[in-house]
Amino acid sequence: MYKDRTVAVVIPALNEERAIGEVIDSIPPFVDSVIVVDDGSSDDTAAVARERGAEVISHGRNKGVGAAFETGRRRVLALRSDIMVNMDGDGQFDPSDIVKLVGPVADGEADFVTASRFKDPDLYPDMSRTKFLGNRMMSRLISRLTGRRFHDVSCGFRAYSRDALLRLNLFGDFTYTQEAFLEFAFKDVMILEVPVEVRGRREHGRSRVASNLFRYAWQTMKIIVRTMRDYRPLRLFAGVSAVLFAAGLIPAVFLAVHYGRTGTFTPHKWAGFLAGFLFILSAMSFLLGFILDMFARMRVNQEEILAILRKRE
């Protein structure tokens, strides 16, 4: 219990038997529930977690961090906890920092509080330059899409109010970090970044999300595009429309210059057909975005209704 608020910690874990025990032992005593979601581990992660007193939910097979997070979210809602904290089980996060995330939620300052590795330059973690630049680029992209300044959108150490959990609807199995940021920003949920010191390199094993940077970038971009399609389709397809229109201008201008010099379209009539095709695609893309924007408004209303029904349950 923390300031009359029940707190549950969710730890998605895959083959973390060497670190999970220490992580659970270090969780502050005010935490009411510790839930380890064993995402298909082939080692003794589940057994170690149970020995340390955690509730263990096993998937049986590996489904992904996003799916493990969703399993934990549903369990926390079933327990009727007031605040949920999610953190990794690899020991990179210091459990004593949980209070820094829970405090603002308990005090009503924010509904979603995330640890930030890059907000304070003095707390930058020790990580490869590639991962550092990748994280910064992703944060800038999410900031641009949402119109709000964020420093770290990929950190897996966060706290949520019960209301935020009820309003959250995630569909990505691979990861959840960027999708949650976009959803909360688009739904005007109060977001707060709290700088914390994080170990930049794992002591045991490899990251299952960022071990392959190309796969991570591809999967993350798919999640971002889908979220934009669902909540900001007009902005997404208007951008596609603008690119297609600009591409169509190139052969159109080329053909116009050729006609001005020779007085004939021959032998470059192809440029006219190409320009016309791109202009049609541009118009169709904008129209599609306009139509999907109507469905996005309906989606927001439906999710608000869903959140109300969840509260009643």
Secondary-structure class of domain 7-231 per CATH: alpha beta
Using a cut of 0.95, tell me whether the model's pTM lies above it: no
Spatial strand order in the sheet of 55-58: 55-58, 33-38, 7-13, 83-86, 158-161, 112-116, 191-195
* pLDDT over threshold 80, residue 199: no
pLDDT over threshold 70, residue 200: no
Q: For residue 283, what pLDDT is reported?
A: 97
Does residue 111 come out as left (phi exceeding 0), alpha (psi in the -120 to 50 range) or beta?
alpha
Tell me how far CA of residue 119 lies from CA of 57, 125, 196, 198, 275, in angstroms. 34, 11, 9, 12, 46
Q: Which helix (H) or strand (E) segment is 153 a member of?
A: none
DSSP letters for 2-18: BTTB-EEEEEEESS-TT
Residues 6 or more apart from 252 whose CB is under 8 A from it?
271, 272, 275, 279
- pLDDT computed for residue 99 by the predictor: 96
Q: What's the average model confidence in pLDDT over 200-209?
A: 55
pLDDT of 126? 80
Q: Are strands 158-161 and 112-116 parallel, antiparallel or unpaired?
A: antiparallel
* Mean pLDDT, rounded, of the chain: 90
Q: How do residues 174-184 score in pLDDT, each as one tens digit?
A: 778 888 988 99
Reduced to 3 states, what is the DSSP secondary structure of residue 311?
A: helix
Do 62 and 74 touch, CB atoms closer than 8 A? Answer: no
**Residue 215: is its pLDDT beyond 60?**
yes
Predicted local distance difference test score (pLDDT) of residue 205? 53
Q: Give 43-71 pLDDT, tens digit per residue.
A: 999 999 999 999 999 998 999 898 999 99
What residue segments make up the domains of the chain, in order of their start? 7-231, 233-312
Query: 306: how many CB neighbours lie within 10 A of its CB?
Result: 13
Query: Is the CB of residue 85 less than 8 Å from the CB of residue 17?
Result: no
pLDDT in tens, 284-299: 999 999 999 988 888 8
Output phi, psi for 61, to 5 deg. Answer: -145, 160
Higher per-residue pLDDT: 249 or 294: 249
Residue 203 pLDDT grade (very low, low, confident, very high; cuts 50, 70, 90): low
How confident is the model over 168-195, as a mean pLDDT? 88
